[in-house]
Amino acid sequence: MIGKVVGQLACSAELAALRQQLTGVEAERDRALQERQQVLRGNIRVMCRVRPAHQQQQSPSRSPAATAAFGAAHGSCIGYPLEGLLAVHDASTARQREFEFDAVFAPEASQQQVYEEVSPLVRSCADGYNVCIFAYGQTGSGKTYTMDGPADNPGINTRALQELFSIAADEVDHSWSFQVAMLEIYNEAVRDLLAMSASIGGGSGAASAAAVAAAASAHTVEVSGLPAGELPPNMDRVPGLVWRKVSNTAEVQAALREGVRARATAATALNAASSRSHALVSVKVQGVREGKAFTAMMHLVDLAGSERVDKSEVAGQQLKEAQAINKSLSALGDVVAALQRRGAHIPFRNSKLTQVLQDSLSGSSKVLLSRRQWRLLRPSTQEPAAAFEGLSHPLQPHGPADILKDHGVID
């Protein structure tokens, strides 16, 4: 009797082990498939999210024709003729152009819909790949909303960590750990926001401007410019950076809030707009797969506003800011272009931003850019009515046409 029970136990233990093995094989096959899919879709993907019009620009009673007329009166209107395409009609030149992205989100797209397109990259990070997700666009175009988002409808940052937690919860090995760090890059100086927050009490407003300025300077950190392969395994890209351990959404949101407050406090104390700096949330994932430990990094980046500043109109601090932003955005553009060309030399050293991100931009890392690197498909002089009927959205003053104009894509 005892022998039989033990036999059955052994048998069910074997069955359980076999099932576990099979699940492991299936999970491994799914991961390989997902990786293959990612490689085929390209390691650099570019999506475009169109911000809804502000309230004063919206009218619930506006028909598609009236919407098109509104757009035309404001110089341009936009439409979505096919999946992944954005069409821009510029009324002043009667020109229409189409731009191709990996995905285009219309103004009504929800935070969750945007996140679902990003989610495969987050899953790649849980498979051990380094990942970078950027939001790029003019001031007011919705970068912070997309990355950070309101507390009751969070953006990519919180959703990405939630997904990582849920992946880890389903793993056989429960020794996974997650840490976040927050950095700000302003005028080519890199600041540790969580360290600053600890010095000034989370930016609760109690610290004087002088104390905040002192903290900002004290927590300015060095970045190693060494190429990825030459960085010793025990050396961090940003030595001494404060990493906060997180294991649930509440901890993530508390850390993010602290960093955001420290950034805003520093901006006020230094008399600078926070949109003039790059904000980075870095996530370090340490996990175990098939008995092997791995570390992967994910950088979630809210880039500084990309508007072109006419140098003749700004001076002093604003000019310095504009130059620093231009320098770092063009350095990022050069790096992405070199990666796309698979160039032998990738110019990471040209800015602090690309130095900080270099481990997540090289090798088999995955990169996602929101609003950048669009490919012009075909210019046309079609009337907007046909192309835009039923699809039109008025263009707000800070809408894509302004961005496209800024970059000389349209006149």
Comparison of 51 and 244: residue with beta carbon closer to ligand ATP: 51
Question: How is residue 165 written in tokens?
Answer: 């937690």
To the nearest whole angstrom, how small is the minimum distance from the Cβ of residue 193 to ligand ATP?
A: 15
Comparison of 143 and 237: residue with beta carbon closer to ligand ATP: 143
DSSP notation for 38-79: HHHH-SEEEEEEPPPPPGGG--TT--HHHHHHHHHHTTEEEE
Comparison of 58 and 224: residue with beta carbon closer to ligand ATP: 58
143 in a known ligand binding site = yes
To the nearest whole angstrom, how small is the minimum distance from the Cβ of residue 140 to ligand ATP?
A: 5
CA nearest to 43, candidates 159, 129, 104? 129
Task: Return the SS3 of 30.
Answer: helix
Q: How far is CA 53 from the centre of its chain?
A: 22
Residue 47 CB neighbours (<10 A): 21
Comparison of 137 and 394: residue with beta carbon closer to ligand ATP: 137
CA nearest to 376, candidates 334, 408, 331, 333? 408
Contact assessment for residue 104 and residue 81, using Cβ atoms and an 8 Å cutoff: no
- CA–CA dist 42, 48 (Å, integer): 16
To the nearest whole angstrom, how small is the minimum distance from the Cβ of residue 107 to ligand ATP?
A: 7
Backbone φ, ψ for residue 356 (5° rounding) = -60, -40
To the nearest whole angstrom, how small is the minimum distance from the Cβ of residue 17 to ligand ATP?
A: 48
To the nearest whole angstrom, how small is the minimum distance from the Cβ of residue 259 to ligand ATP?
A: 14
Comparison of 96 and 275: residue with beta carbon closer to ligand ATP: 275
Interaction site with ligand ATP (CB under 6 A): 51-52, 137, 139-145, 275, 305
140 in a known ligand binding site = yes
Contacts with 7 (C-beta within 8 Å, 6 or more apart), sequence order: none
Comparison of 143 and 261: residue with beta carbon closer to ligand ATP: 143
To the nearest whole angstrom, how small is the minimum distance from the Cβ of residue 199 to ligand ATP?
A: 24
Helix (H) / strand (E) element for 297: namely: strand 292-302
To the nearest whole angstrom, how small is the minimum distance from the Cβ of residue 132 to ligand ATP?
A: 18
137 in a known ligand binding site = yes
144 in a known ligand binding site = yes
Angle value at C-alpha 341, between 335 and 344, nearest 5 degrees: 75
- CA–CA dist 253, 246 (Å, integer): 10
Contacts with 242 (C-beta within 8 Å, 6 or more apart), sequence order: 181, 192, 194, 195, 198
Comparison of 30 and 116: residue with beta carbon closer to ligand ATP: 116
To the nearest whole angstrom, how small is the minimum distance from the Cβ of residue 136 to ligand ATP?
A: 9
DSSP notation for 302-359: EPPP-----TTT--HHHHHHHHHHHHHHHHHHHHHHHHHHT-S---GGG-HHHHHHHH
Comparison of 156 and 160: residue with beta carbon closer to ligand ATP: 156
- CA–CA dist 145, 150 (Å, integer): 7
Provide the annotated binding site.
137-144
| Positions at the binding site for ATP | 137-144
